[in-house]
Structure 1
């Protein structure tokens, strides 16, 4: 049985990016969601192990300002779409030429933007993402920036309550996270036509936090939609997430 390992890639600006890795075989890069990390999104609930057992070399970076990766506090470390550059740097560090790419929520948005920018996976998975979450990301980012700004005063019942509790649970560096949120741009709907690789859109049956996933699948040139159970948060705990990704990538 493959064991989990950890390494670091160095982004082009010198920021260290923690890489968690398990399995052997076809490389698969997994990108986690906002305020999360590789462990919370992919490892803890067994998805990484399922994918490793399906024959993949599962590569899971902690995104900049998340997990065990660097979280610089200078605005210069967060140019527009810095996460796309970081994905390119992880791919270069791992010397990947033929690989698959998947992301959840912010990770899905980053994966889509990376493909539009020229990253070329064999197959793509966009999880926890709908059409409006790509083309209207600034509205989603504004919600989380507000949660950061009101972090110490948010009470139970406030719309930001669960976001604040999640940030507390993952010990997010709020200064770095706020800068990162300001670096994430919208993905223009017209650019989605450039995502020509076979794509799986997967979301929980009660997850419309990032808009309509079926609408996203419909506008992509070669995509299909699969629904699993759960909300945006609870769908990550459903074993069906890992199984659905594995089935798509091995079909």
Structure 2
């Protein structure tokens, strides 16, 4: 891929990410700028931040403090009375925060994002599917079925559109809701926006639904049939299949090794 094509694809991805975030709360422009620059590596761990660094834009002390408060809540900065505001180590960042995930993707940290997020999903989603098959929550299983039906309808209409993405997210979230485990249900809620970002990225790369719906159908079938072990296996097979597909597409389109 030449440089112009690479820029075009990254712009398409950025547009998909911004579209996915359209309904989230709005950050202050200063918090958005500082957060993005920290993630991009312009500010390093231990660097001191102050409103004077943005003096050319007439940043007030109040607006800076508000931005610091937001970023501190994400684990990205530490404000101390005697030392000022410092960039925190990456290990303290809340990497599941939607804003932080968007900054990662915008900065080009696509390969590691995809790899790490699939590892996380593979560690918990099969467990949720297994639990859902065991507990047989009829209402939640019907929600899984309805989400899959919506995906089928959108497959022929717009397989890369926001409605398909939303249905895909609802499919996976409903599995967590069907698990009858409060911690897994809570994890499904936490992962809703990360899943939306991830699936929007897949769509921007034109990772098509080929075979995906069959794999989703297999997960639903095993859950509805009350076969916990088979549901766990089907969920893992789905995640591994999509992960391999995304890997191939990302490597081909962006020249990245995930």
* Length-normalised TM-score, structure 1: 0.28
* Length-normalised TM-score, structure 2: 0.27
Structure with bigger helix share is 2
